[in-house]
Structure 1
Amino acid sequence: MTAPAPLKGVHHVAYRCKDAKETVEFYRDALGMDFQLAIAEDKVPSTGAHDPYMHVFLDAGNGNVLAFFELPTQPDMDRDRNTPQWVQHIAFRVGSLDELMETKAHLEGMGLDVLGPTHHGIFKSIYFFDPNGHRIELAADIGTPEQMKQLKDVAQPMIDEWSTTKKAPRHAAWLHEKIADES
């Protein structure tokens, strides 16, 4: 019997961008990401297809890498119009609520429209868009180990109920009721 190799984390996540240089500068200036690496080729190594590209890699902290492809000979990039804008996003963790609010002020100082903070029970988030139209979330964890255990314990019953009903299960209603009490 075979088994999958144990995963050691995410090597990188790649998205498309309109302009590689503009994208690198945005993530450097807005989020302090270090520009790690650029790869440019005229042929795709995996397929051999002629498709010039610039592939850039940015350090997102803790060994996580966010990458982008600029594809100048392809049609202009667009988003999945069948999916609401709020669904597809890139979320990064920050160390505290203070850091979240300091970053919000920094982003607003850059002229960005920032939504939030939004209270999700176990974390608070802010949201904004990068120059490519990708929605970015910054999240500060506030959940307790007990809350995280409770959520883990109800995860399977919740997905089982959702699979059958396609309605929000009440298994973790306590989390949302707590938010309402704090408002």
Structure 2
Amino acid sequence: MNQIRPARFVHVVYRTHRFAEMIDWYQQVFGARVQFQNEMLAFLTYDEEHHRFAFVNLDPLDPDPQDKNRQGLVGVDHVAYTFASLTDLLTNWERLKADGVEPYWCLHHGITISLYYGDPDGNQMEFQVESYTTPQDANDFMSSPGYTENPLGVEFDPADWLARLRTGTPESEFLVRKVHQPVAELRFSTPSSS
């Protein structure tokens, strides 16, 4: 199969115990604005993209400041790359699967459809496709009740979606998230033992 490459690099996500400070710093340094924020997550951008930075507040997940592993959680959570189409994203998934590389998480965020992979060291990356054709439509979704209800996303089966695409279901049927439940459980990559 021909290798399909990402169209562009799009964002980075950080885990932090300094949630408010990080948001303030990125607003000051990049002139970023908050697109969405709750007690666990914040998404910021400095341009028309729905987000260039995201922050995961670790305090609700790990509130014990005496925890010796606390600082090990801080840092880059993942970096993200956008593909040109859902067909490209899922065709690339199929090629990687044939090579023994599988995502640890398949998630329809609402603003993107995303496959999460981990490299041999456990560094996490998101391969995604945009759900909306314009930045304003994506920004509007981030302000909607559906996104507020579930900013994380709903899991999906890439094999099922690719099969349906190949039998003629248009990409547009998959792009807009029609259901917001169940909320996906957090998943993380772990280093491989090979």
Q: TM-score range by the shorter chain?
A: 0.3 to 0.5
If you compute each CA radius of gyration, which structure gives the higher value, 1 or 2? Answer: 1
If asked which structure has higher relative contact order (CA below 8 Å, sep 6+), I would say 2
| TM-score when normalising by structure 2 | 0.37
